[in-house]
């Protein structure tokens, strides 16, 4: 481990970094309001959850493709 990194105490639930991916599923099915199970576009949004121990402050979800 590099010398510049210091360890610190972390509460239960604050020991990991959580990233959520959400994929769009609209307009895949032929009928409006319907979905095709297990199918999604290769785009959506990514978001990161707040984590005080790691100093992570969430921002707005970021679109990806």
The answer to whether residue 9 is domain-embedded is: no
Domain that holds residue 64: 14-65
How far is Cα 21 from Cα 31, in angstroms, rounded to an integer? Answer: 25
pLDDT at 12: 85
Phi, psi (deg, nearest 5) at residue 47: -140, 155
Tokens in use for 39? 């199918």
The answer to whether residue 26 is domain-embedded is: yes
The answer to whether residue 4 is domain-embedded is: no
pLDDT at 7: 85
The answer to whether residue 1 is domain-embedded is: no
pLDDT at 5: 81
pLDDT at 58: 94
Q: How confident is the model at residue 61 (pLDDT cuts 50, 70, 90)?
A: very high
The answer to whether residue 58 is domain-embedded is: yes
Report pLDDT digits (tens) over 5-33.
888 888 887 889 999 999 999 999 999 99
The answer to whether residue 36 is domain-embedded is: yes
Tokens in use for 52? 């005080």
The answer to whether residue 2 is domain-embedded is: no
Domain count, the chain: 1
């Amino acid at each position: 481990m590099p010398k510049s990194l210091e360890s610190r105490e972390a509460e239960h639930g604050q020991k990991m970094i959580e990233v959520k991916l959400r994929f769009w599923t609209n307009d895949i099915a032929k009928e409006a309001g319907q979905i095709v199970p297990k199918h999604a576009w290769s785009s959506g949004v990514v978001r990161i959850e707040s984590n005080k121990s790691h100093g992570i402050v969430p921002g707005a979800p970021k679109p990806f493709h």
